[in-house]
Amino acid sequence: MRARRVIRIIVVCYAVFCVLLAILLGELAFRPQRVPVTERQSAEATAVRFGAVLWDVSVTAGDGSHLQGWFARPADANGDAVILLHGVGDNRQGMMGSAELFLSNRFAVLVPDSRAQGESGGDFVTYGLKESDDVHRWFDWLVMQQHPRCVFGMGESMGAAIVLQAVQEEKRFCAVVAESSFASFHQIAYVRVGQFFHTGAWFGRVALRPAVEMAFLYGRLTRGVNLAHASPERSVVGSRVPILLIHGLADDNIPYQQSERILAHNPAEILLWEVPNAGHCGAVSVARQEFDTRVLGWFNSHQRSP
């Protein structure tokens, strides 16, 4: 009898722990850190170096949220534009290094804050479920206001996952680049739980699987959103948009196998560059010249009218 009582207590404690952890995980996922935009002068200086003016631009999302961003076009623009998407817990400032690369090579750049990040509106982050339509609206803004010859997309981490989910509906992209993307938010959630407890992904996938699944249920009940549906690997199936995946082999945030999974779903249109010794979104740090050559070469080789 005593053994049964002990087992019941353990089971009840485990269940309560899983429920509380699920709520915590859900809130952490939906409400990552919001970083204020504080480096406008630096961004303006970058634009001025290439004869461009940094414009504050905005669009209205499908749910009424007001999304903010920067746009710059160099004086000797080549007629093409790139939409640059940052990672979670960041803002448009995080993509100004990439913006400099493209401005110096005569591309116009649109650098938005993702919803619920930076200065953009929106109640919470959805890792591509709503953001993919946001990208579509930014694309429409570019087409109507700037009339580019060709529009490309590039994202890092969450931004990479967003641009990959966007190609499912936004077929006008000439090509995209995605660095350090997850393949499935459902699967990467197990990895995140393991990182949270400083263990391997097995801990989230096995020991705390009920907590992870309840966290997804919590999201559906409180936000009406099923984050398990955020899946770049499913979104690229059948897409005709050329995709360059970049992933560091030393990435301890999102394992490089995630990009390999994405590649497996559309090898005809996807090229994967795996970078030795590169961490999360770190390819440019360990192989700057090759990074620039590959990214620019990818876009230049896919120039066409959208």
Mean pLDDT over 31-46 rounds to 94
State whether 237 and 170 are in the same domain.
Answer: yes
Instruction: Output the pLDDT for position 11.
Output: 87
Whole-number mean pLDDT of the chain? 95
Residue 98 clears pLDDT 90, i.e. is over it: yes
Instruction: Output the pLDDT for position 200.
Output: 79
Beta bridge partners of residue 67, listed in sequence order: 59
State whether 58 and 151 are in the same domain.
Answer: yes
In a domain, 305, yes or no: no
In a domain, 201, yes or no: yes
State whether 157 and 239 are in the same domain.
Answer: yes
- Overall number of domains in the chain: 2
For the four alpha carbons of 291, 294, 296 and 299, in that order, the dihedral sign comes to negative
Q: Which of 244, 240, 238, 233 is nearest to 304 (CA)?
A: 240
Residue 116, sorted as left (phi over 0), alpha (psi -120 to 50) or beta, turns out to be left
State whether 124 and 17 are in the same domain.
Answer: no
Q: Which of 62, 150, 101 is nearest to 291 (CA)?
A: 101
| Residue finishing a domain among 229, 257, 289 | 229
State whether 153 and 199 are in the same domain.
Answer: no
State whether 81 and 23 are in the same domain.
Answer: no
Coil, helix or strand for 93? helix
State whether 217 and 248 are in the same domain.
Answer: no
Q: Which of 176, 192, 194 is nearest to 262 (CA)?
A: 176
List, as own/partner pairs, every contact residues 24-28 make where C-beta atoms lie below 8 angstroms and the sequence separation is at least 24, other chains included. 25/189, 25/192, 25/193, 25/196, 25/211, 25/212, 25/215, 25/218, 26/215, 26/218, 26/219, 26/222
We report the CATH number of the domain holding residue 294 as 3.40.50.1820
Query: Tokens in use for 101?
Result: 């690369």
In a domain, 76, yes or no: yes
Instruction: Output the pLDDT for position 44.
Output: 95
State whether 221 and 94 are in the same domain.
Answer: no
In a domain, 274, yes or no: yes
- Residue 194 sits at φ, ψ, to 5 deg, of -60, -40
Coil, helix or strand for 90? coil
Q: pLDDT tens for residues 112-157?
A: 999 999 999 999 999 999 999 999 999 999 999 999 999 999 999 9
Amino acid making up residue 1: M
Q: Report d(CA 229, CA 241) in Å as an integer.
A: 21
State whether 212 and 284 are in the same domain.
Answer: no
Query: What is each CA distance from 97 to 288, 292, 301, in whole angstroms?
Result: 12, 11, 22
Q: What pTM was estimated for this model as a whole?
A: 0.94
Instruction: Output the pLDDT for position 5.
Output: 84
In a domain, 8, yes or no: yes
Domain of residue 10, residue span: 1-30+192-229
In a domain, 306, yes or no: no
State whether 159 and 211 are in the same domain.
Answer: no
- Report the percentage of the chain scoring pLDDT > 70: 99
Beta bridge partners of residue 111, listed in sequence order: 70
State whether 65 and 167 are in the same domain.
Answer: yes
In a domain, 223, yes or no: yes
CA atoms within 13 A on the CB side of 165: 27
Query: What is each CA distance from 251 to 4, 181, 210, 255, in whole angstroms?
Result: 45, 11, 27, 6
State whether 176 and 295 are in the same domain.
Answer: yes
